[in-house]
């Protein structure tokens, strides 16, 4: 963004346009009785989109008038971003220390020590909140420039421009029927919910409506400006910002406008958003954070030995050597789980499927994956993402995921891929594109 009046008008027009036309995923009131029944329980916890969006727009307009990102377009801007991320990580560590101090039965002065940590947390929060608007501007500028370099500009401008506001946390209520895996509701909830409130809401919906419910933490929301959850992980942060911008880009084009028209279109939208985010993230790193790019040779060298492989120092007495235990493969095991759940539900064995999911949840827990609840709603939420092969994200749209990756690889550029898919709005149109690849 060039910071002049013309650009400011374009940005503000983009904000108004997206607010007017963007279908907020999961926020609308379904006229069906089932949705109304669900909202009987969720309404007290539902997020106020209108108030948040208005405050975010005001904040973005105020930030644009400062033009601070223009003064921090070089190394200084990078340093501000990295300093902010370090503060975020320090805050997480302080929170961990506070929990340990309060829980430690051998702590001589838990209250005094806790007060010192709380004071450090307050200082961290004040400094972090002061930096946050500036960091938002810098990252917006960097990713907008990245998109220009990827050929996504129109008349030198990105439409819509990358705009986001960071928040500490966010939750969504996912509801699925028990006899199939499908999103019957996806409702964003207020922040700062307690675990007791979360469990109470889930159990009320499940007990009274005979549905499967799950409250999940989310990394971002495709509002405009987008809501992005705070993180000290630069890799994750850029990816989520890019993912949500892609939804904003698609929303004012046929594909995004038909996000909810079918489960397949939902999966296609989410998969394209992930593939797009991968490309934007990689290019942003090349332009602004090249020192954090991990060489492929380095990542490959850390690959563990497969079962039965031995290095040169191995002796012939294989039976005397300790057996190499294969690491637990979360994606593969979750993929197996999803396939079996689908099979049981298709047979009408709902209770058996639910008992099976609980047994698998315990397996994941025992192997270090602390899943609080594994049910139909869990798969209804995670199954919309098919960008990565394997695991739960590949079962609801396994063929769609692989075909979309092939389609992207067949295009001459990232921009060509995005402009091809953005103007499709039916599954058969994508199937025609897939057939052309063969």
The Cα-based distances of 208 to 171, 176, 203, 204 in angstroms read: 22, 14, 8, 6
3-state SS class at 396: coil
Q: Where are the domains of the chain?
A: 5-292
Rounded CA-CA distance 216/202 in Å is 11
Instruction: Enumerate long-range contacts of 358-362, CB under 8 Å, 24 or more apart.
Output: 360/333
CA count, 13 A, side-chain hemisphere, 33: 1
CB atoms within 10 A of CB 199: 13
Q: Which residue has the tokens 């999966």?
A: 267
Tell me whether strands 171-177 and 211-217 are parallel, antiparallel or unpaired.
Answer: antiparallel
306: which residues sit within 8 A by CB, 6+ positions away? 326
The pair of three-digit structure tokens given for residue 390, joined into one six-digit string: 């394997």
DSSP state of 292: G
CB 283 within 8 A of CB 146: yes
Paired residues of 220 in beta bridges:
228
pLDDT tens-digit profile, the chain (438 residues): 444 444 454 455 455 555 544 444 433 334 468 899 999 999 999 999 889 989 888 888 887 776 766 666 678 889 999 999 999 999 989 988 887 887 777 778 888 888 999 999 999 999 998 898 899 999 999 999 999 999 999 888 999 999 999 988 889 999 999 999 988 999 999 988 888 899 999 999 999 999 999 999 888 888 899 999 999 999 999 999 999 999 999 999 999 999 988 888 988 999 999 999 999 999 999 999 998 887 765 544 443 333 333 333 333 343 444 455 678 999 889 989 999 999 999 999 999 999 999 999 999 999 988 889 999 999 999 876 655 444 344 444 447 888 999 999 999 999 999 999 999 999 999 999 999 987
Rounded CA-CA distance 140/297 in Å is 31
The pTM of this model reads 0.75
Burial 360-376 (b: 16+ CB within 10 A, else e): bbeebeeeeeeeebbbb
* Sheet with 226-229: strands ordered across: 164-167, 226-229, 220-221
Paired residues of 157 in beta bridges:
154
Tell me whether strands 220-221 and 226-229 are parallel, antiparallel or unpaired.
Answer: antiparallel
Rounded CA-CA distance 301/329 in Å is 19
CA-only gyration radius of the chain, Å: 24
Tell me whether strands 185-189 and 171-177 are parallel, antiparallel or unpaired.
Answer: antiparallel
Rounded CA-CA distance 391/310 in Å is 28
Beta strands in 307-397 (DSSP E): none
The whole-angstrom distance between residue 238's C-alpha and the CA centroid of its chain comes to 11
Rounded CA-CA distance 148/379 in Å is 36
DSSP state of 325: P
């Amino acid at each position: 963004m060039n910071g002049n009046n013309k650009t400011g008008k374009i940005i503000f027009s983009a904000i108004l346009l997206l607010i007017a036309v963007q279908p907020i995923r999961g926020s609308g009131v379904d006229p069906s009785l089932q949705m109304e029944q669900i909202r009987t329980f969720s309404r007290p916890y539902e997020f106020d989109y209108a108030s948040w969006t208005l405050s975010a727009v005001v904040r973005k307009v105020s930030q644009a008038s400062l033009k601070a990102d223009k003064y921090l377009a070089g190394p200084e801007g990078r340093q501000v971003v990295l300093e902010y991320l370090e503060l975020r990580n320090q805050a997480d560590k302080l929170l961990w220390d506070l929990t340990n101090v309060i829980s430690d039965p051998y702590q001589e002065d838990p209250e005094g020590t806790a007060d010192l940590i709380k004071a450090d947390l307050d200082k961290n929060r004040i400094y972090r909140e002061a930096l946050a608007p500036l960091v938002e501007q810098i990252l917006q500028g960097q990713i907008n420039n990245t998109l220009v370099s990827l050929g996504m500009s129109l008349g030198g401008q990105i439409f819509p421009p990358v705009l986001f506001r960071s928040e500490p946390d966010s939750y969504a209520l996912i509801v699925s029927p028990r006899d199939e895996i499908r999103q019957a509701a996806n409702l964003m909830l207020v922040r700062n919910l307690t675990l007791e409130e979360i469990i109470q809401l889930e159990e009320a919906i499940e007990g009274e409506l005979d549905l499967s419910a799950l409250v999940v933490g989310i990394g971002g929301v495709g509002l405009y400006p987008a809501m992005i959850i705070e993180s000290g992980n630069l890799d994750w942060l850029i990816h989520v910002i890019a993912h949500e911008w892609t939804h904003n880009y698609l929303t004012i084009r046929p594909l995004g406008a038909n996000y909810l028209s079918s489960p397949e279109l939902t999966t296609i939208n989410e998969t394209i958003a992930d593939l797009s985010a991968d490309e934007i993230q990689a290019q942003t790193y090349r332009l602004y954070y090249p020192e954090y790019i991990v060489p492929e040779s380095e990542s490959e060298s850390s690959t563990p030995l497969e079962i039965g492989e031995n290095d040169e120092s191995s002796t012939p007495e294989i039976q005397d050597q300790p057996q190499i235990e294969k690491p637990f493969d979360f994606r593969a095991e979750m993929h197996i789980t999803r396939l079996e759940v689908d099979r049981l539900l298709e047979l009408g064995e709902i209770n058996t499927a639910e008992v099976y999911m609980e047994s698998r949840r315990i397996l994941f827990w025992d192997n270090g994956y602390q899943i609080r609840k594994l049910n139909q709603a869990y798969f209804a939420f995670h199954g919309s993402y098919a960008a990565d092969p394997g695991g739960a994200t590949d079962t609801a749209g396994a063929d769609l995921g692989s075909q979309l990756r092939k389609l992207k690889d067949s295009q001459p550029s990232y921009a060509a891929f995005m402009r091809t898919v953005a103007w499709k709005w039916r599954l058969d149109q994508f199937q025609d594109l897939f057939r052309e690849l063969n």
